[in-house]
Amino acid sequence: MWGYLIRRILAVIPVMTVVAVVVFLILHLNPDDPAAIIAGDQATAADIENIRRQLGLDRPVYIQFFEWVARLVRGDLGSSIFLERPVLHLILERVEPTLALAISTTIFSVVLALPLGVLAAWKAGSWIDQAIMAVAVLAFSFPVFLIGYGLVQGLALEWDLLPVQGFVSITEDPSRFLAHLVLPTIALGLVYTALLARMTRSTMLEILNEDYIRTARAKGLANPRVLLIHALKNAAVPIVTTIGVGIALLIGGVVVTESVFAIPGVGRLTIDAVLHRDYPVIQGVILVVSGFYVLINLLIDLTYTVFDPRIRY
Amino acid sequence: MSNANVSAGAPPPAGTPLLSVRGLETRFFDDGMALKAVDGLSFDVARGETLCIVGESGCGKSVSALSVMRLLPPPPASRVDGTILLEGQDIRALSEREMRRVRGNSISMIFQEPMTSLNPVVTVGYQIAEAVRQHEGKSWAEGFERAVEMLRLVRIPEPERRVKEYPHQLSGGMRQRVMIAMALACRPRVLLADEPTTALDVTIQAQILELMRELQEETGTAIVLITHDLGVVAEMAHRVVVMYAGRKVEEASVGDLFERPCHPYTVGLMGSIPELGSSLVEGKGPRRLAEIPGIVPSLRAMPAGCRFAPRCPLATDRCRTEMPPLEEHRPRHWSACWHWERAQEAIHVHA
Amino acid sequence: MTDITADAAGGSAPAPAKRSRLGRIVRRHPMMVAGGVILVTMAVVAAAAPLLAPHDPIELNVVDRLRPPDEDYLLGTDAYGRDMLSRMLYGARVSLIVGLAVALLSTVLGLLIGVIAGYYRLADAILMRIMDGLMAIPGILLAIALMALTRASIEVVILAITIPEVPRVVRLVRAVVLSIREQTYVQAAIAIGTRFPRLMLKHILPNTVAPLVVQATYIFAHAVLVEAYLSFLGVGTPPEIPSWGNIIAEGRLYVQIAFWQVLFPGLALAVMVLSINVLGDGLRDMLDPKMSRRS
């Protein structure tokens, strides 16, 4: 088992190396002169030269790369060109709403999707199954902003129930913090729920066909026991894997949702950075978010040892 | 096949059967079409008796057992008709909830694949204990005690350690012992064993069969043993039902069957097993195993008359148009063949 | 039911065989056919946009700004007085072109890389590390970052959405190639010296078609959504082009007084993505009998 853990952890290194190279190349593969783009349309040649030196763009690419990596390892993500502040600080300032939305959506979706997916698989072919799957493919196809604006118009504005935009820190006012999360979580969560429910159903269907399920039923066990102990325990690994991989999709959705509900999170930071061509911020955000994503999936891989006793190598 | 190999202990005690199946019919529905996998099967099995159901794969043997256990996909995917009496009680009339009290308790089943029939992520002790807990209302601790006891009964060494292990930590033979322990944990009156040794190698196979026989002597469990292997039949059976294409084509005591088979299909199956002591030693090179030419007909395209006719060396026009009824040609020896008296001639044709 | 044989053998057996193949598909996968029909209809309407559009989609007309749906403007007008219906007809073109181009491009790239990775052991190690790395970057984020590279255009949007999709296709193709390599007939073909291009065309490509078609359909649906998301966020299709995402991005400012600017393009988007997803589900069930038997 320790061998498995160590190999899993070591596997993160090449992945993050590739991420770092890609992020670095985002600036340097640019067909146009990055310095000129950053400087903007009204910049003089001197301005451009200044930026070029400031970013170290005048030196050989490989040296730039190693210097950049060396700074990264020390936790230095560089400074924003537009806001002239350390990128790490900018991200940390914006991380709370994004993280809060991601976590609340994950909880919402898992709580909703697992029972629905299991039910659909158990009743495969019945009208319950067909109804659940029809709603799932519908939710799966609806753009987040349409659900978002629908909720805002339909629920919040008509009846004045919930705040429709912005964000309040949990340290400031926990109940308003939660109130602000409700609508974005539902808007984003429906899509993610649909994805998870579809995956849960197909995994459970496969497992319900296994011989050991027949054995469990031959023992005279009651349905909940067959379903929740024998089937779900086997489905755990594929399901948590989907939850982990789905986080990539979730992060994309978070960016859009933040925009719909005017939440000042990392997504907004990223969009602003793209509009201002603030490359260090873009690079920093991608590195941090990807690192976070890889870390979550590493943790999920480590939970396999809990769910599946066969993992020993 | 010599006679010494045929007799498997004393003849079974007479009495009312523990399990009595009458006119079992199982249909599957696929895309609006009804496919009859089992067609009018009847058999009895008494306390301490072993009944073998033999036939090639696809003959409806496993489906019959699953029908009795009510483990087939529920309607509308399938439909079971006929009478299934377990200790005189019609289990087809039970509700699903009542049936759960019967399953694994008074009737249990062992499956073919010990590799895939145990849950890989649950310890074997738990898998035995939960059945005991379900049916006897015991605590988990008592369930695990019973699990240890059962593992000891099926001759698994160090049962106290093994109960805490997962299936992947056990060998194939040991897993099948665990399956048997699980099936017997609640002391069932009837045990259905579906090809319990097919997936195992020959030495382990002999050990498992030996174990089942010993356990039967101790507990008096009635066993329905499903197999395609007449060697296993000779080893284990008191009575034998031969199935072909969903129907019973012959039934007899094991001695009668081997001495005077009355159906060319049975004769054909006998031609398919190597004669003990022969094969490699005598003659020049290995003796070719005779096989019945052709395959079991598909459920979608059953021949009109005798279903075996297309493969039968004795088939006549009558066989191809008229289905032969199952008749008692000799005392307690039934067969469904127009030419039952000449059945043994088939062996010469096959060999 | 005394004549048992007739029940099993006769019955309804011959009837379905006589029905046409098309009729059988419609009967068995009605949702898939419905999805396909809607998609094709949308494509035809998009292609005929210049003929069908009642107004100019670009020309400003301040007098008629923010008009709710009426007989002149069936779907209302936007803040510049442009006809929503006309803009949406042209917007469908953007969605379809981007979706189709991304699906094709990522499939071709993925196929190419996947076959190389599946076939050459050395390339496999390197290529798959790169794919793992790319997959570690959430797709939309990578697309957004790629959009920052250069001046926005439809081509750049296509490329930015394609790149994050490629690794998934590569993995799929590689898995198929690896499993087919082990088949006896392929081993035999290699043993008698069949050259790689022929091996590829005769044995490997035909086996990848079914899963690739299904995957490409899902990528199509996803790409249509991502294009709209990027435009909505202001980092996608150039704002002067009337794509659905752009229409919504402009309309969101007035959503409380002119909801139709968000609702109609949003619904159109949902219908298009839904029809493609349903088509994909149907293709999956049809091309992968193992899956459909389960469900």
The interface predicted TM-score of the complex, written ipTM, equals 0.89
Alpha carbons A109 and A105: distance in angstroms, whole number: 6
**Residue B310 reports pLDDT greater than 60:** yes
Domain spans, chain C: 77-294
**Residue B9 reports pLDDT greater than 50:** no
Touching partners of C (3+ C-beta pairs < 8 Å): A, B
Kindly indicate the confidence band of residue C290, based on its pLDDT and cuts at 50, 70 and 90.
low
Q: Is C156 on the interface with A (CB under 8 A)?
A: no
Query: Taking Cα atoms as reference points, which of B84, B91, B21 lies closest to residue B51?
Result: B21
Taking residue A101's Cβ as centre, other Cβ atoms within 10 Å add up to 28
**CB interface of C with A, residues 66-95, below 8 Å:** none
**Residue B58 reports pLDDT greater than 90:** no
Q: A84 in a domain, yes or no? A: no
Contact residues for B255 (Cβ-Cβ < 8 A; gap 6+): B3, B6, B7
Show the tokens assigned to B336: 């469904």
- Domain interval for residue A201: 91-307
Nearest C-alpha in A relative to C137: A290
What is the CATH superfamily name and number for domain C77-294? MetI-like (1.10.3720.10)
Q: Is C12 on the interface with B (CB under 8 A)?
A: yes
**Residue A31 reports pLDDT greater than 90:** no
Does A274 contact C235 at a Cβ distance shorter than 8 Å?
yes
Does B103 contact A212 at a Cβ distance shorter than 8 Å?
no
What pLDDT is recorded for position B19? 94
A-interface mutation test, from C149, C214, C219, C260, most A Cβ less than 10 A away: C149
**Residue A100 reports pLDDT greater than 90:** yes
* Chain B residues closer than 8 Å to A211 by CB: 111, 113, 116-117
Q: What is the domain-level CATH number for residue A251?
A: 1.10.3720.10
Q: A82 in a domain, yes or no? A: no
- Using alpha carbons only, give the angle C262, C278, C22 rounded to the nearest 5 degrees: 135
Question: Which comes out higher in pLDDT, residue C253 or C44?
Answer: C44
Helix, strand, coil tally for chain A in percent (to 5): 75, 0, 20
C140-188 per-position pLDDT tens digit: 999 999 888 777 899 999 999 999 999 999 999 998 888 888 888 888 8
* Same domain (yes/no): A69, A121: no
What pLDDT is recorded for position B23? 93
* Same domain (yes/no): A116, A43: no
Q: A70 in a domain, yes or no? A: yes
Task: Give the residue numbers in B contacting C (CB under 8 Å), as ranges.
Answer: 31-36, 39-40, 299-304, 323
* Same domain (yes/no): A69, A106: no
Q: A272 in a domain, yes or no? A: yes
* Same domain (yes/no): A50, A179: no
C203-224 per-position pLDDT tens digit: 888 888 889 999 999 999 999 9
The predicted model gives B180-185 an average pLDDT of: 90
Q: Is A130 on the interface with B (CB under 8 A)?
A: no
What pLDDT is recorded for position C11? 38
* Same domain (yes/no): A237, A170: yes
Tally of structural domains, chain A? 2
**Residue C16 reports pLDDT greater than 50:** no
Question: What value does the mean pLDDT of chain B take?
Answer: 85
Helix, strand, coil tally for chain C in percent (to 5): 75, 0, 25
What pLDDT is recorded for position B281? 37
What pLDDT is recorded for position C19? 56
Nearest C-alpha in A relative to C244: A143
Tallying the residues shown for chain A, one arrives at 313
Alpha carbons B345 and B33: distance in angstroms, whole number: 38
What pLDDT is recorded for position B102? 93
Nearest C-alpha in C relative to A14: C129
* Chain C residues closer than 8 Å to A32 by CB: 150-151
Does A218 contact B109 at a Cβ distance shorter than 8 Å?
yes
**Residue A312 reports pLDDT greater than 50:** yes
Q: Which of B14-28, B59-73, C279-293 has the highest mean pLDDT?
A: B59-73
The predicted model gives B58-74 an average pLDDT of: 90
* Same domain (yes/no): A113, A180: yes
**Residue B6 reports pLDDT greater than 60:** no
**Residue A82 reports pLDDT greater than 90:** no
Q: A193 in a domain, yes or no? A: yes
Q: A8 in a domain, yes or no? A: no
pTM flag (> 0.80): yes
Q: Is C2 on the interface with B (CB under 8 A)?
A: no
C97-128 per-position pLDDT tens digit: 999 999 999 999 999 999 889 888 888 989 99
Q: A23 in a domain, yes or no? A: yes
Report the relative pairing of strands B222-227 and B239-244 from DSSP bridges: unpaired
* Same domain (yes/no): A132, A255: yes
What pLDDT is recorded for position C13? 40
Kindly indicate the confidence band of residue C7, based on its pLDDT and cuts at 50, 70 and 90.
very low
Which of A144-148, B209-213, B233-237, C1-5 bottoms out in mean pLDDT, i.e. has the lowest? C1-5
Nearest C-alpha in A relative to B184: A219
Chain-centre distance for alpha carbon C201: 25
* Same domain (yes/no): A49, A162: no
What pLDDT is recorded for position A313? 47
**Residue C3 reports pLDDT greater than 50:** no
**CB interface of A with C, residues 252-291, below 8 Å:** 252-253, 255-256, 259-260, 270-271, 273-275, 277, 279, 282-283, 285-286, 289-290
A-interface mutation test, from B62, B121, B175, B180, most A Cβ less than 10 A away: B121
The predicted model gives B216-233 an average pLDDT of: 91
What pLDDT is recorded for position B273? 58
**Cβ–Cβ < 8 Å for C230, C143:** yes
* Same domain (yes/no): A153, A277: yes
What pLDDT is recorded for position C54? 80
**Residue C291 reports pLDDT greater than 70:** no
The predicted model gives C248-274 an average pLDDT of: 87
Q: Is C274 on the interface with A (CB under 8 A)?
A: yes
**Residue C78 reports pLDDT greater than 80:** no
Alpha carbons C50 and C77: distance in angstroms, whole number: 18
* Same domain (yes/no): A239, A122: yes
* Domains in chain B: ranges and CATH: 19-237 (3.40.50.300), 261-276+287-346 (no CATH)
Q: Which of B198-202, C55-59, C130-134 has the highest mean pLDDT?
A: C130-134
* Same domain (yes/no): A49, A163: no
Q: Which of A281-290, C55-64, C280-289 has the highest mean pLDDT?
A: A281-290
H or E stretch including C129?
helix C121-135
User: How far is C228 from chain A, CA to nearest CA, in Å?
Assistant: 8
* Same domain (yes/no): A60, A191: no
Nearest C-alpha in A relative to C253: A260
* Three-state secondary structure of chain B: CCHHHHCCCCCCCCCCCCEEEEEEEEEEEECCEEEEEEEEEEEEECCCCEEEEECCCCCCHHHHHHHHHCCCCCCCCEEEEEEEEECCEEHHHCCHHHHHHHECCCEEEECCCCCCCCCCCCCHHHHHHHHHHHHHCCCHHHHHHHHHHHHHHCCCCCHHHHCCCCHHHCCHHHHHHHHHHHHHCCCCCEEEEECCCCCCCHHHHHHHHHHHHHHHHHHCCEEEEEECCHHHHHHHCCEEEEEECCEEEEEEEHHHHHHCCCCHHHHHHHHCCCCCCCCCCCCCCCCCCCCCCCCCCCCCCCCCCCCCHHHCCCCCHHHHHCCCCCEEEECCEEECCCCHHHCCHHHHHHC
